[in-house]
Amino acid sequence: MTVFRGYLLIIKRNWGFIFIYTALFLLTMLIIQGETQKKEEKEFQRSRLKIAVVDEDGGILAEGLTNYLATLHEITEIGNAEGTLLEAIYYGEISSVIRIPRGVGEKWEVQLTKIPGYAEADYLKQQINLFLNQVQFCTENGYSMQEAFALVNQQLEEKSVRLLNLNGNQGKWESYYYIFRFLPYLSIAVLCLILSIPMNAYRKKEIRQRLQCSAVSLRRQTVEAMLAFLVVGIIFWAAMIGVAIIFSKNSFFESPHAAYLAGNSFLMVLTSLAMAFLIGAVAESENVINIIVNVTALAVSFLGGVFTPTSVLDKGILKFSRILPVYWYEEVNNLLAGFREITPERQSEIWKSFGIQCLFAAACISIGMAVLKIKEQKED
């Protein structure tokens, strides 16, 4: 097992690199998980804006509108001076100013001053118009102003949001799905680098000549090299599964998709091993390997939907992304995260993605072997 031990020895020398990449990966996961939980807590809460109300009318309608807005937003008392109000908007102390003119009950309109381009102010304007239209409708049909206020406020209290659990996952992603989402980048960056370097070292002319003179046959050299690749890949894959289990606090075992997630991630690791083999066959030096690996890991991760959702990509770019195994890996991960129940149609999509990843890995190995054969013929 001379070649096998040689591979592991060279990989051991790059242990510091593996540790740094993995530590950064875990730190990123912790930050993403924390921010995601905060977002989920606030996602369906009503936004309360900081606003100011200038009542120039002083009538019962103006008072009712002010009380209505106070239940929805935070009204700040900063005076009625024009300069003070504009200064407060400029420095972000308030988002909008509602000025209730004299005789508001005649035109049923108010003036709204807002931060330019502030979309939430348009939502505020809709709330004001809805209140005035409902009150006007009630008073024109025989209700008093106080009765109209009561009816509008009653409708406000009765409104609620009920989320339908259509997908069976409560509309949330489990924490371990984010680990699997970013796995392709770490897998390609780490495995391609630490495995391409020893492969490149064994391709040096003097080492190849020594091996040719030894009792180790070329076939055995290839088998031991492939075995080293596979052992490192399995160790890496098992470590990532362990990280997912730790992050999920053992809820990973309760997932109905645990087998699919494990299989999908294992195929991604195998694909990374195949890419490492191809890069090791093409590159001529360690410096070239570093450049190729860094560019490849970032490019396929961006195009495959690791860092940005594929839904925001251009259609032309998306056509190219479908060639990449990372795209199909992320499709499976998103499908498993979004649906608790796997229907036969979804299952066929999963197996299709698995097949494409396997074909890509096979293509990388075939091209890599062809490149090695051509280089050996030229050198001989």
More confident position, 298 or 28 = 298
CA–CA distance, 196 with 16 (Å, rounded to integer): 16
With respect to residue 254, please indicate whether it lies within any of the assigned structural domains. Answer: yes
Three-point CA angle 118, 113, 116, nearest 5°? 30
With respect to residue 235, please indicate whether it lies within any of the assigned structural domains. Answer: yes
With respect to residue 351, please indicate whether it lies within any of the assigned structural domains. Answer: yes
With respect to residue 108, please indicate whether it lies within any of the assigned structural domains. Answer: yes
pLDDT at 209: 66
Q: Mean of the pLDDT values across residues 345-373?
A: 90
Q: Mean of the pLDDT values across residues 148-173?
A: 61
With respect to residue 5, please indicate whether it lies within any of the assigned structural domains. Answer: no
Judge if 129 and 202 occupy the same domain. Answer: no
Yes or no: say if 54 and 80 are a contact pair by the CB < 8 Å rule: yes
Judge if 88 and 217 occupy the same domain. Answer: no
Judge if 283 and 225 occupy the same domain. Answer: yes
Judge if 318 and 235 occupy the same domain. Answer: yes
CA–CA distance, 1 with 53 (Å, rounded to integer): 81
With respect to residue 163, please indicate whether it lies within any of the assigned structural domains. Answer: no
At 364, the pLDDT band (50, 70, 90 cuts) reads very high
Judge if 151 and 178 occupy the same domain. Answer: no
With respect to residue 33, please indicate whether it lies within any of the assigned structural domains. Answer: no
The 10s digit of each residue's pLDDT in 188-229 is 888 888 888 777 777 776 776 676 666 666 677 777 878 888
Domain count, the chain: 2
Task: Indicate the length of the chain as a whole number.
Answer: 380
At 38, the pLDDT band (50, 70, 90 cuts) reads low
The alpha carbons of the chain give a radius of gyration, in whole angstroms, of: 31
pLDDT at 33 over 70: no
Judge if 130 and 63 occupy the same domain. Answer: yes
Judge if 203 and 320 occupy the same domain. Answer: yes
Give the count of alpha carbons within 13 A of 160, CB side only: 5
CATH of the domain at 95: 3.40.1710.10
More confident position, 124 or 43 = 124
At 328, the pLDDT band (50, 70, 90 cuts) reads very high
pLDDT at 44 over 60: no
Q: Mean of the pLDDT values across residues 313-341?
A: 85
Instruction: Say which DSSP state 322 is in.
Output: T
Judge if 188 and 315 occupy the same domain. Answer: yes
C-alpha dihedral sign at 248, 250, 256, 258: positive
- Cβ-based neighbour number of residue 147 at 10 Å: 13
Best mean pLDDT range from 32-46, 89-103, 217-231, 253-267: 253-267
> What SS3 class is residue 340?
coil
Yes or no: say if 52 and 97 are a contact pair by the CB < 8 Å rule: yes
Judge if 254 and 289 occupy the same domain. Answer: yes
At 157, the pLDDT band (50, 70, 90 cuts) reads low
> Helices (H), strands (E): how many in the chain?
15, 4
Yes or no: say if 74 and 49 are a contact pair by the CB < 8 Å rule: yes
Judge if 55 and 188 occupy the same domain. Answer: no
Three-point CA angle 202, 208, 211, nearest 5°? 105
Give the count of alpha carbons within 13 A of 212, CB side only: 9
Yes or no: say if 373 and 282 are a contact pair by the CB < 8 Å rule: no
CA–CA distance, 258 with 253 (Å, rounded to integer): 7
What percent of the chain stands above pLDDT 90? Answer: 10
At 43, the pLDDT band (50, 70, 90 cuts) reads very low
Yes or no: say if 252 and 173 are a contact pair by the CB < 8 Å rule: no
Domain boundary among 130, 156, 182: 156
The 10s digit of each residue's pLDDT in 275-317 is 988 988 888 887 888 888 889 988 998 888 888 777 777 788 8
Domain boundary among 96, 122, 156: 156
Judge if 147 and 206 occupy the same domain. Answer: no
Judge if 140 and 178 occupy the same domain. Answer: no
* pTM, 2 dp: 0.65
Domain that holds residue 65: 50-156
Q: What would the DSSP string read from start to end of 85-133?
A: HHHHHHTTS-SEEEEE-TTHHHH---EEEE-TT-HHHHHHHHHHHHHHH
With respect to residue 280, please indicate whether it lies within any of the assigned structural domains. Answer: yes
pLDDT at 352: 93
Tokens representing 213?
């003179």
> Which of 165-179, 264-278, 298-312, 352-366 is predicted least confidently?
165-179
pLDDT at 351 over 90: yes
Q: Mean of the pLDDT values across residues 133-158?
A: 81
At 373, the pLDDT band (50, 70, 90 cuts) reads confident
